[in-house]
Amino acid sequence: MPSPGKPNVLLVMTDQHRADLTRATGCPLDTMPTLDATASRGALFRNAYTAAPLCVPARVSMLTGRFPTAHRVRQNSTGEHALYDADLLDVLREQGYGLGFAGKPHIHRPLTDFDVASGPYWHERGPTGEGEAGEQDRAFDAWLHELDHGVATEPTPFPLERQLPYRIVSDAIDVVDRLTADDPDRPFFCWVSFPEPHNPYQVPSPYFELFPEDEVPDRLAGPEARDAKGPMFRWLGELFESKRPGFDDRWRRYRASYLGMLRLLDDQVARLLDHLGDQLADTVVVHVADHGDFVGEYGLQRKGAGMPEVLMRIPMQISGPGVAPGTQVTEPVSIVDLMPTLCELAGAPIPDGVQGRSLAPLLRGEPAPPAEFGSVYAELGYGGVPYRHDEHPELHFSYDGPTLDELNTVTMSGGTRMVRAGRHKLTLDADGRVELYDLESDPAELVDLADDPGLADVRGELLRLLGRWMIRVADDLPRGAYVPKTVPHNWRWADLGTSTTEGST
C-alpha cells in the first residue's frame, strides 16, 4: 500500500487523439468502453484543451505545467531546451515516488531520469525481444515503416501481440512490478505513453472490421472547406494531393481504422488495469492526449494547420482516490493543469513558474470559480515571419514522391494565440488577423464572425481575455529578490482572499 495521502499515479497518454470519438463524449459507436467506464467512476473533462497542437510542446507543458511561451519549446526538435524550475518528475521524486515509464517519450528528459523505463517506442518501431518473438517484432516494425505513415486498406498481417500498444502494456506491467517489488509501500508513478492513434493508420482483425466504413460518423467538413479555413489549410491539402493523389477518397477507411485503433488501445488499457488488481483502489488513473487529429476533417489527415477544435480539444479524465465518482466538468481546462493537480493530490506544493491550475477541488465536486474557469488559452507557432501560401521552403522530406514526415515548417510558421469562452472562440495571429467562431452553430469553424457588428462586444471581451491570458503566461522565472504573490491551487483570477506566499511584497 502507498504511503498515507500519497496515491499511486498511473498516467495513460494517447497520441493525436481527438476528444469526441467515444460513446461518453457523444460518438454513436462504442470505441473505448474501458476508459468510458473508468471516467464514470471519476471525473470526465468535457472541454479539455492542449497547450499546443504538437507533440513535444504539449508534453513538456503537461510535465512542467507551463505554456510554450514560458518553457520555450515550440517545436518537436527543441525539447532539451525546456525552461522550468521543477517538473512533475522532480516533484514526485521529492515526495518519495518510484518513477516508471513505458512507451513513446518525446519529452525534455531522458529515460534514464526514471527509476524503471522501457522504450523508446516511436510510431514505426519499438524495442524488440529475443528469439522468434523479437524477429516478429522487427518484421512488424519494418511493415509499419513501409506503410510510410499512410492508411492500410487491409487488416494488418500480424497478430495483436506485435502491435505497439500490446508490447507497451507488457512493458508497463513489468515496470509496475519492478517498482513495487522491493517496497510495496512506496507509491509509484507510471507513465504509459502510446504512439497510437497517431499515423500510420492500421489495425489487425477483428479491429479492422469492427467499425465498418459505412457506419463511421460523417465528418463536419470535407476538402471543399479548406478555402474557408485559409492559406495554411490550402497549402497542407495541396501538398497531400500532390504527393498522394486521391488520398482523401479513403477518408472513411482512415476513420474506420482510427476508431479501430481506439478500441485496440482501450483493450490494452483494460489489460493493464486488470493487472493492477487491488492496487487500483490506491491509484489515481489519468487519461489524456497530447493533441487531436483531423481524422478526415477538411480533407486532411494528422495535424499541422491552424487551431480547429479537432486538434485543440483533447480527451481527459481522472479517477481514483480524492475524485468524486460521476463528476462531469464542463468548464474549459488545459493539459497544463494536470501537473499542479497531481502535485496537490500528492500533497506537494506547486513549484515556482507553474502556470496551470490545480483541478483537485473540482475533482472533489466543488464548484469551479467562473472567473478562473470561464475561459481557456492555447498557443501555436514556431515563431519568425509566417510563410506565404506560394512558398516552398526546405522540409525534412522531399517534395517529390509520396513520403510525408514533419508537415509543420510552413503551416506552423509565425504564431497564433487562441482563447475560448462559452460558445465562442477567438484566434489572433502574427499578421494581426482576428478570427471569431460560434462553436455551437458552426462546429467546423467555417464562418468567421470577427467583423460581425452584432458580435462586437463578444469580440472585444475575448480580446480582453486573450490579453489577460498572455500577461498571465509571461514567465515568473527566475525568482528574484521580490517574491510574487501566490494563491491556493494557483487560481489567480478567483477571489480566494488569501495568499500562500509569506513575505510577498
List pLDDT tens digits, range 69-109. Answer: 999 999 988 889 999 999 999 999 999 999 999 999 999 99
pLDDT digits over 367-418, tens only?
A: 999 999 999 999 999 999 999 888 888 887 888 888 877 667 889 999 999 9
- DSSP three-state, residue 98: strand
Report phi then psi at 410, rounded to 5.
Answer: -85, -50
Q: Is 262 helix (H, G, I), strand (E, B) or coil?
A: helix
Q: What type of residue is 38? A: T
Sheet holding 414-421, edge to edge: 376-383, 414-421, 424-429, 434-438
Helix axes 251-276, 33-40, angle to 10 degrees: 50
Tell me if 82 sits within 8 A of 60, measured CB to CB.
yes
Name the percent of the chain lying above pLDDT 90. 88
| Mean pLDDT estimate for the chain | 94
- Grid cell, residue 44, equals 470526465
Q: Identify whether the C-beta of residue 475 lies closer than 8 Å to the C-beta of residue 353.
A: yes
pLDDT (average), residues 204-220: 97
Q: Give the mean model confidence (pLDDT) for residues 114-139.
A: 93
pLDDT digits (tens, 9 = 90+) for 161-175: 999 999 999 999 999
Provide the pLDDT for residue 464. 98
pLDDT at 3: 54
Find, among 31, 14, 32, 59, the residue nearest to 194 by Cα. 14
Q: What is the pLDDT of residue 114?
A: 98
Quick one: average pLDDT of 360-365?
97
- Class of the CATH domain delimited by 8-367: alpha beta
CA atoms within 13 A on the CB side of 337: 30
Whole-number pLDDT of residue 408: 74
Res 501 pLDDT > 50? no
Model confidence band, residue 466 (pLDDT cutoffs 50, 70, 90): very high
Q: What are phi and psi of 450, to 5 degrees?
A: -60, -30
DSSP 8-state secondary structure symbol assigned to residue 2: P
Nearest to 103 by CA among 168, 162, 9, 11: 168
Q: Does 499 score more than 60 pLDDT? A: no
Residue 503 has what pLDDT? 35
Helix, strand or coil, per DSSP, at residue 25: helix
By the 10 Å C-beta count (0-12 exposed, 13-18 middle, 19+ buried), 246 is classed as: exposed
The domain segmentation of the chain, as residue ranges, is 8-367
Taking 3-state DSSP, the helix, strand and coil percentages for the chain, each rounded to the nearest 5, stand at 40, 15, 45
Asked if 426 and 445 touch (Cβ cutoff 8 Å), the reply is no
- ∠ CA 21-23-28, rounded to 5°: 80
Cα end-to-end span (Å), the chain: 43
Confidence band (pLDDT; 50, 70, 90) for 496?
low
Kindly report, residue by residue over 292-304, the tens digit of the pLDDT: 999 999 999 999 9
Contact 149, 200 (CB under 8 A): yes
